[in-house]
């Protein structure tokens, strides 16, 4: 287990929170990806590896989930530990207990906390008050666990990350925020096309470009999907109305009408492009069936790698 035994890196990550990729150096982000690949290999070979034996992860869910819940729960089991599913209604935060009190109490019981919630400040407040590692399972601002597994998946398929171009077509949401920061950390180029009024957060763009200067990455935000997707190695999209924005569905369908990833648009990408989607997907809306179910699609490899990337995060920080 070469990566896990890299003493300097192991020491630097132990006990850290995993709130966003901006908090990690390029070397640390790549270490976690390589560790995820190592853990995946061990699991596929049937090797037992229990660095978290006897440890417990508390999982707080204010948003519903398929991939996040199952992958974290199974991941903890495969690492020798145990996971507790805690919905908002299972905890006193559903009745008004301050998140800081919840953090301090849970720090006495468990060895790590994963939270999937709406407001990013909830994760920040939880991490500030907790004395154990906190993992951001998703907020309205970012989705770093997904971005980490996405770039693990690209590396497995392409054999490299540096210099590859990612094209993201659609809403400037939490997913693209983490993809931009991940690309900046890994020396990749990313072009984002969104309709007017749906751009990524300006501060996130600034931070991503600042990090990109260190690795030679390029971060571009534009209005034209054809411009963004030109010569792309990876094509990525997400739903037009993320969880919490369902009331805007009809309005967004009009705004995003020319931003569907379909066979016609995909012709502008490289001939061996990879198609990615964090799921769940709305076939016929943000992506055509021919693309998402076609030969370029690696969406289920992505989904599987949530398990392995998150195991890497937990093994490193817990």
Cα-based angle 90, 93, 96 (whole degrees, multiple of 5): 130
Which of the following is catalytic: 78, 146, 302, 310? 146
116 is in an annotated binding site: yes
Q: How far apart, in whole angstroms, are the C-alpha atoms of residue 292 and residue 209?
A: 30
Which of the following is catalytic: 38, 171, 233, 238? 238
**Is 38 in the active site?**
no
Which of the following is catalytic: 278, 296, 308, 310? 278
**Is 116 in the active site?**
yes
122 is in an annotated binding site: no
67 is in an annotated binding site: yes
**Is 88 in the active site?**
no
306 is in an annotated binding site: yes
Of 160, 172, 310, nearest in space to 245 by CA: 172
Of 110, 255, 256, 228, nearest in space to 167 by CA: 228
145 is in an annotated binding site: yes
233 is in an annotated binding site: no
**Is 143 in the active site?**
yes
238 is in an annotated binding site: yes
Which residues pair with residue 59 across a beta bridge?
A: 85, 114
Of 115, 270, 91, nearest in space to 189 by CA: 270
92 is in an annotated binding site: yes
Q: How far apart, in whole angstroms, are the C-alpha atoms of residue 314 and residue 318?
A: 5
Structure tokens at 141: 């601002």
242 is in an annotated binding site: yes
**Is 238 in the active site?**
yes
Which of the following is catalytic: 120, 252, 277, 306? 306
Please give the annotated binding residues for carbamoyl phosphate, written as ranges: 65-68, 92, 116, 143-146, 278-279, 306
List, by residue number, the catalytic residues: 116, 143, 146, 238, 278, 306
Please give the annotated binding residues, written as ranges: 65-68, 92, 116, 143-146, 174, 238, 242-243, 278-279, 306
């Amino acid at each position: 287990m070469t990566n896990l035994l890299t003493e300097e890196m192991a020491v630097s990550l132990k006990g850290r929170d995993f709130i966003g990729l901006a908090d990690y150096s390029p070397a640390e982000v790549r270490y976690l990806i390589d560790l995820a690949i190592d853990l995946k290999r061990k699991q596929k070979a049937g090797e037992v590896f229990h660095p978290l034996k006897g440890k417990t992860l508390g999982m707080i869910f204010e948003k519903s989930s398929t991939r996040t819940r199952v992958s974290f729960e199974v991941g903890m089991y495969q690492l020798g530990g145990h996971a507790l599913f805690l919905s908002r209604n299972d905890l006193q935060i559903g009745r008004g207990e301050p998140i800081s009190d919840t953090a301090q109490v849970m720090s006495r019981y468990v060895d790590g906390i994963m939270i999937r919630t709406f407001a990013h400040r909830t994760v920040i407040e939880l991490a500030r008050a907790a004395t154990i590692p906190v993992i951001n399972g998703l907020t309205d601002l970012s989705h770093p666990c997904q971005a980490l597994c996405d770039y693990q998946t690209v590396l497995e398929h392409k054999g490299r990350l540096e210099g590859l171009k990612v094209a993201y077509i659609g809403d400037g949401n939490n997913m693209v925020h983490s993809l931009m920061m991940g690309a900046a950390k890994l020396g990749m180029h990313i072009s984002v096309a969104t309709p007017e009024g749906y751009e990524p957060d300006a501060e996130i763009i600034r931070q991503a470009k600042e990090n990109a200067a260190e690795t030679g990455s390029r971060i571009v935000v534009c209005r034209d999907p054809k411009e963004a997707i030109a010569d792309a190695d990876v094509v990525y999209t997400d739903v037009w109305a993320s969880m919490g924005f369902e009331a805007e569905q009809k309005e967004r369908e009009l705004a995003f009408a020319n931003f569907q990833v379909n066979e016609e648009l995909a012709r502008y990408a490289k001939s061996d492009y990879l198609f990615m989607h964090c799921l769940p997907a709305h076939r016929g809306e943000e992506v055509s069936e021919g693309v998402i179910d076609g030969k370029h699609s690696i969406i289920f490899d992505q989904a599987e790698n949530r398990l392995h990337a998150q195991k890497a995060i937990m093994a490193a920080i817990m």
